Amino acid sequence: KRSSHITFASTLHRRTPFKHCITMASNSMRFLEAFTRAAKRQHVSGRAQRGLFAGRDKAFGNNVSFSKRRTRRAWKVNHQWKTLYSEALDEKVGLNVTTHTLRCVDKIGGLDNYLLSIKDERELGVKGLKTRDRVLAALAEA
């Protein structure tokens, strides 16, 4: 029988040599780090980089029929081309945004507040970062 649980150094038998305790603890920490890395998104598509997708991206999975036959499929992101008004720039900015992002922009109180509140640069993408830099420059001038 293979055991799939993690053994930490504090739960090991007291006769286990210390160097084995350290090895087992570091292995379990490596396992936990890999698990948390898997929870984070590693790849962001080019389409998401060129717009405000709020961390959303194309998802893949299976359609499972009654007979348990699996058919690969993809869930596409509901994105729209919108022009959003920036108060700091005093102009309309054309962006490819998801409907989730539009709700977030409304909730936070405008495009400028949304761009300044997002800390993760991967979530903003290339176009979002450029727009945020323009907003910051306009706010610094005023």
Over residues 106-112, mean pLDDT: 95
**Better-predicted residue by pLDDT, 28 or 69:** 69
**Better-predicted residue by pLDDT, 65 or 24:** 65
Q: What is the dihedral of CA 77, 42, 106, 132, to 10 degrees?
A: -120
pLDDT of 120 reads 84
Q: What is d(CA 61, CA 35) in angstroms, rounded to the nearest whole number?
A: 20
**Lowest-confidence segment of 9-23, 34-48, 92-106 by average pLDDT:** 9-23
| pLDDT mean across residues, the chain | 82
Confidence band, pLDDT 50/70/90 cuts, at residue 46: confident
Confidence band, pLDDT 50/70/90 cuts, at residue 45: confident
